[in-house]
């Protein structure tokens, strides 16, 4: 349903890999709602994914950038403003990875240079993105920056490993940077704590499919899909959420406030 919610708005979308990814669905939805944007991803992710297809579909340009590199991000911000013809209204940060998870290292047996790399990509990169935008004065007033998080930042999910620490850091950056960005530039900064979602990144976590069905049974409204998340993100990019900032917004069908559901109780009384 297009109601031109983002007509005239311009932005940057990080992290679209393939059509399962939340960033991909968000790009399609932003496009349907009249927004224009630049797509960006790390060169290696671009080789793995199908971002060219998305660029064609949405009439967007792609600027490769390593989100851990300040030089790459400064270049991305400058070029995006050039391409889009002015300041930016919205940014989606949808990137994260854990080398420890990839290499099968347990949380109690982290290899710390893996930890540092994962933290840089998943969490510190959000600060770097915000700082590049802030220093370049690249955001329009009432602009909106959103990053994707997960409830493992607050609660323990054993297999989520060091990504839980990365997400906790990410959420803290949104609050801390959100204060300065709001005070000085009227820009909103929020994180969305999304249901477990069968994206390429999500499926790297051990026992993920079982966990998705557990979350589905625990959530009164069921899990939020990647498309649901894209729709929610678009509301946060729109002018209807102007005073929402420094929040971690649970988008999980009610999972975060459910102690136990009847389905789970029934499962255990079988």
Q: For position 9, what pLDDT does the model report?
A: 98
Task: Please confirm, yes or no, whether 232 is among the known catalytic residues.
Answer: no
pLDDT confidence band for 204 (50 / 70 / 90): low
Paired residues of 91 in beta bridges: 12, 145
CA-CA distance, 91 to 146, in Å (whole number)? 6
Stretch 1-9: mean pLDDT, rounded? 92
Q: For position 199, what pLDDT does the model report?
A: 81
192 is in an annotated binding site: no
Task: Please confirm, yes or no, whether 150 is among the known catalytic residues.
Answer: yes
35 is in an annotated binding site: no
Contact 98, 105 (CB under 8 A): no
Is this structure's pTM higher than 0.75?
A: yes
How many angstroms separate the Cα of 95 from the Cα of each of 17, 170, 199, 216?
10, 11, 12, 24
Cα-flanking dihedrals φ and ψ of residue 19, to 5°?
-70, -10
Q: For position 94, what pLDDT does the model report?
A: 98
pLDDT confidence band for 270 (50 / 70 / 90): confident
15 is in an annotated binding site: yes
Going along the chain from its start, the domains and CATH numbers come out as 10-268 (3.40.50.720)
Stretch 105-122: mean pLDDT, rounded? 98
Catalytic one among 107, 112, 134, 160?
160
Token readout for 218 is: 């625990």
Catalytic one among 112, 134, 150, 179?
150
CA-CA distance, 57 to 110, in Å (whole number)? 41
Quick: pLDDT tens for 132-181: 999 999 999 999 999 999 999 999 999 899 999 999 999 999 999 999 99
**DSSP conformation class of 253:** T
118 is in an annotated binding site: no
Quick: pLDDT tens for 38-89: 999 999 888 888 999 999 999 999 999 999 999 999 999 999 999 999 999 9
85 is in an annotated binding site: no
Token readout for 50 is: 């199908």
**DSSP conformation class of 196:** P
């Amino acid at each position: 349903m297009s109601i031109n919610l983002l007509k005239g708005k311009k932005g940057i979308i990080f992290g679209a890999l393939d059509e399962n990814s939340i960033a991909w669905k968000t790009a399609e939805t932003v496009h349907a709602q009249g927004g224009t944007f630049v797509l960006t991803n790390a060169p290696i992710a671009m080789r793995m994914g199908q971002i060219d297809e998305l660029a064609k579909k949405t009439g967007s340009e792609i600027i490769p950038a390593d989100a851990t590199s300040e030089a790459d991000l400064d270049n991305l911000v400058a070029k995006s403003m050039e391409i889009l013809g002015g300041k930016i209204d919205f940014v989606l940060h949808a990137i994260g990875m854990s080398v420890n998870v990839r290499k099968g290292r347990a949380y109690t047996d982290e290899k710390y240079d893996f930890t540092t790399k994962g933290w840089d990509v998943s969490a510190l990169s959000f600060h770097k993105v915000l700082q590049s935008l802030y220093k370049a004065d690249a955001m329009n007033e009432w602009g909106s920056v959103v990053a994707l998080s997960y409830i493992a930042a607050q609660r323990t999910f054993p297999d989520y490993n060091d990504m839980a620490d990365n997400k906790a850091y990410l959420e803290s950056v949104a609050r801390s940077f959100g204060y300065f960005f709001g005070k000085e530039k009227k820009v909103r900064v929020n994180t969305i704590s999304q249901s477990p979602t069968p994206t390429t990144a999500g499926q790297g976590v051990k026992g993920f499919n079982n966990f998705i069905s557990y979350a589905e049974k625990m959530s009164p409204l069921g899990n939020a899909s990647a498309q649901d998340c894209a729709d929610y993100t678009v509301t946060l990019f729109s002018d209807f959420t102007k005073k929402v900032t420094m929040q971690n917004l649970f988008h999980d069908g009610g999972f975060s406030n459910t102690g136990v559901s009847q389905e789970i109780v029934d499962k255990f009384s079988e």
